[in-house]
């Protein structure tokens, strides 16, 4: 495993889940499955001493290094404790680590493959959080991969497991399978046509959580929603996967398609106008917040998917979503920036991406 | 204690548990508790959240007594668990079993794992409890350079592992 990382190179790279490919990728950005696992011979994180955490980190790393599987041999292994806040934030934006582990204390680490198709967090809420990410709606192969990683790790790590309660986790909401399958969906047409409430209502009875991403409180920006299973105990992995893969995600995607179709048929001019205005703002603004950027990029992404925008593809938009976020922007520009300067450089970055040129002097 | 929303005595002490925001304590009278729980059940975007109200009418005294209960392995009290939403060690699932059951039923509607099982495991709950203590002892033995004792403990730990699937035995035999 490689122990150091070039964060600037990382920020320039488009990882597996941002490829903008795979089934339904115009609406389904990515599929992610994570397994929560704990070592049998340590307390859960909350009751771990600093020495315990260090022992867990060292012992898991050594065991991963002992695995001859190429997926582990080629992995990057990053000790999160000594990292700067900016570098940790960059890993959060790339979804390789959670906000929780970024903001916690003590020994903790992440291992991920160079393609960013999987990551294993060590000393998050549970000792191990194994997750696999794929572009588009691709639950079957995502599961196959995460199950394989779990099997490999299980050969060298003795998990805390209970005959009745299954894999034991720090929070009882994860006990049993420890499995959370999440699909990130882009649902701008359902938002424009004010149907999200209906979607929330229809999901509530079937043990599925729908929540907005990238937003504060109820004001979600970018029209991204994450759909995931609620329960983990008493259902097999196959049942949980099928709930999201066969029932929920396809149903919401179908709603979104219908809403898009109705926008095209009934409000094509209005929609085209909104998309063009969004394009106008992002390609001419001189300073812009990340929230406003999300809002307009979402409209442009919708326009691209519906054939209203030329010269751009979903992958290019995904790249702008990622690289206009605070830590990416700062890493690519060479270091920590104040808010005003971030806004200016973000505007300049977007202008360059959308028009190929930039008015601002620093590019 | 009075209900948070009216003057009636609070007879329901509910700990809300969600993956995103940790926990929130509620002290409610019967009427408001019913309203709250009904709203919870129909709240659309609520994450995995649930009420830790065993038999709903749990009295304040019982709860106080339960709060004092401490796991002999990791030392976490039920009060600490209720406040943080996080358990202290794998053995807590055995030690607090009867107290956790209502919560598991509330959250998952189930108490029986039916999915994947690892090929090796600690076997019984007791060996799960011993495992943490033995590992600590082993580290201490290594610290004071008592390698003989350390190696004995290592064997004890190994003996606690229960390869309950034939698959793992075969795997070991092959390598």
Pair A263, A271: CB distance under 8 Å: yes
Asked if pLDDT for residue A353 goes beyond 90, the answer is yes
User: In this predicted structure, what is the pLDDT of residue A160?
Assistant: 94
pLDDT confidence band for B12 (50 / 70 / 90) = low
User: In this predicted structure, what is the pLDDT of residue B17?
Assistant: 55
Provide the residue ranges of all domains of chain A, joining segments of one domain with +: 7-260, 268-355
User: Which of B41, B59, B77 delimits the end of a domain?
Assistant: B59
What whole-number distance in Å separates Cα of residue A345 and Cα of residue A360? 8
Q: Which of A344, A221, A334 is nearest to A288 (CA)?
A: A344
Does some domain include residue B7? yes
Q: Which of B117, B128, B76 is nearest to B99 (CA)?
A: B76
Longest dimension (CA), chain B: 70
Asked if pLDDT for residue B160 goes beyond 90, the answer is no
Does some domain include residue B66? no
Nearest CA-CA distance, residue A252 and chain B, Å: 15
- Enclosing domain of residue B138: 125-174
Q: What is the mean pLDDT of chain A?
A: 91
Hey, are the CB atoms on A209 and B104 less than 8 Å from each other?
A: no
Does some domain include residue B103? no
Give, in order, the Cα–Cα distances in Å from B89 to each of A161, A170, A328, A354, B94: 12, 7, 37, 52, 10
What whole-number distance in Å separates Cα of residue B41 and Cα of residue B46? 9
User: In this predicted structure, what is the pLDDT of residue A88?
Assistant: 96
Asked if pLDDT for residue A217 goes beyond 60, the answer is no
Please give the tally of structural domains in chain B: 2
User: In this predicted structure, what is the pLDDT of residue A220?
Assistant: 56
What whole-number distance in Å separates Cα of residue A246 and Cα of residue A52? 42
Q: Which of A246, A28, A250 is nearest to A134 (CA)?
A: A28
**Please, which residues bridge with residue A185 across strands?**
A28, A225
Q: What is the pLDDT of residues B70-112, one digit of tens each?
A: 999 999 999 999 888 999 999 999 999 999 998 999 889 999 9
Pair A128, A122: CB distance under 8 Å: yes
Nearest CA-CA distance, residue A59 and chain B, Å: 12
Residues 2-61 of B with CB under 8 A from A: 17-19, 42-48, 50
Does some domain include residue B169? yes
| B63 touches A at CB < 8 Å | no
For residue A157, which phi and psi values (nearest 5 degrees)?
Answer: -125, 130
Q: Which residues of B touch A171 (CB under 8 A)?
A: 17, 19, 85-87
What whole-number distance in Å separates Cα of residue A133 and Cα of residue A110? 15
Longest dimension (CA), chain A: 64
**pTM reported for the whole predicted model:** 0.85
A197 burial type by CB count under 10 A (0-12 exposed, 13-18 middle, 19+ buried): exposed
Nearest CA-CA distance, residue A12 and chain B, Å: 30
**Mean pLDDT to the nearest integer, A283-310:** 93
Q: What is the mean pLDDT of chain B?
A: 73
Is A216 known to sit in a ligand binding site?
A: yes
Is A32 known to sit in a ligand binding site?
A: yes
Q: What is the pLDDT of residues A74-118, one digit of tens each?
A: 999 999 999 999 999 999 999 999 999 999 999 999 999 999 999
Q: Which residues of A touch B115 (CB under 8 A)?
A: 166, 176-177, 179, 235-237, 240
pLDDT confidence band for A213 (50 / 70 / 90) = confident
Indicate the CATH number for domain A7-260. Answer: 3.30.590.10
């Amino acid at each position: 495993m490689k122990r150091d990382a070039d964060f600037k190179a990382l920020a320039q790279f488009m990882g597996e889940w941002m490829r903008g490919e795979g089934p339904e990728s115009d609406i389904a950005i990515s599929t992610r499955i994570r397994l929560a696992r704990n070592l049998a011979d340590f307390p859960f994180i909350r009751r771990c001493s600093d020495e315990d955490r260090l022992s867990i980190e060292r012992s898991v790393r050594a065991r991963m290094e002992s695995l001859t599987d190429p997926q582990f041999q080629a992995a990057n292994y990053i000790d999160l404790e000594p990292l700067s806040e900016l570098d940790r934030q960059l890993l959060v934006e790339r979804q390789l680590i959670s906000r929780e582990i970024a903001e916690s204390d003590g020994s903790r680490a992440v291992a991920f493959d160079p393609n960013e198709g999987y990551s294993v967090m060590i000393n998050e809420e549970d000792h191990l959080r194994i997750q696999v990410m794929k572009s588009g709606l691709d639950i079957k192969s995502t599961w196959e991969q995460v199950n394989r990683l779990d099997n490999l790790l299980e050969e060298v790590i003795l998990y805390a497991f209970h005959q009745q309660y299954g894999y034991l986790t720090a929070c009882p909401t994860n006990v049993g399978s420890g499995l959370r399958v999440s699909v990130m969906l882009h649902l701008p047409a359902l938002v424009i046509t004010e149907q999200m409430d209906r979607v929330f209502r229809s999901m509530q009875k079937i043990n599925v959580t729908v929540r907005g991403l990238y937003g504060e409180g109820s004001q979600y920006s970018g029209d991204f929603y994450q759909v995931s299973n609620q329960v983990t105990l008493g259902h097999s992995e196959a049942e949980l996967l099928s709930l999201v893969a066969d029932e929920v995600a396809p149903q919401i995607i179908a709603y979104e398609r219908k809403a898009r179709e109705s926008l095209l048929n009934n409000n094509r001019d209005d929609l085209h106008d909104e998309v063009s205005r969004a394009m106008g703002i992002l390609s001419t603004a001189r300073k812009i917040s990340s929230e406003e950027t999300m809002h307009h990029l979402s409209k442009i992404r919708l326009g691209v998917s519906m054939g209203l925008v030329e010269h751009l593809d979903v992958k290019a938009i995904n790249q702008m979503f990622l690289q206009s976020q605070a830590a990416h922007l700062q890493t690519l520009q060479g270091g920590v920036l104040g808010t005003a300067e971030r806004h200016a450089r973000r505007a300049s970055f977007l202008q360059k991406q959308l028009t190929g040129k930039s008015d601002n002097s620093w590019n | 204690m009075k209900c948070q929303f009216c003057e009636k005595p609070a007879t329901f002490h509910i700990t809300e548990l969600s993956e995103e925001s940790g926990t929130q304590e509620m002290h409610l009278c019967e009427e408001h508790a019913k309203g709250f729980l009904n709203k919870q059940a129909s709240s659309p975007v609520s994450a995995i959240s649930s009420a830790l109200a065993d038999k709903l009418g749990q009295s304040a005294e019982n709860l106080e007594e339960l709060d004092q209960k401490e796991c002999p392995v990791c030392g976490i009290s039920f009060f600490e668990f209720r406040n943080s939403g996080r358990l202290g060690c794998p053995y807590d699932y055995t030690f607090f079993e009867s107290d956790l059951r209502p919560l598991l039923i509330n959250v998952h509607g189930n108490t029986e794992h039916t999915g994947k099982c690892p090929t090796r495991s600690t076997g019984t709950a007791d060996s799960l409890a011993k495992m943490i203590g033995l590992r600590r002892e082993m580290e201490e033995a290594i610290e004071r350079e008592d390698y003989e004792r350390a190696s004995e403990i290592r064997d004890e730990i190994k003996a606690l592992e229960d390869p309950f699937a034939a698959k793992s035995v075969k795997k070991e035999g092959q390598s």
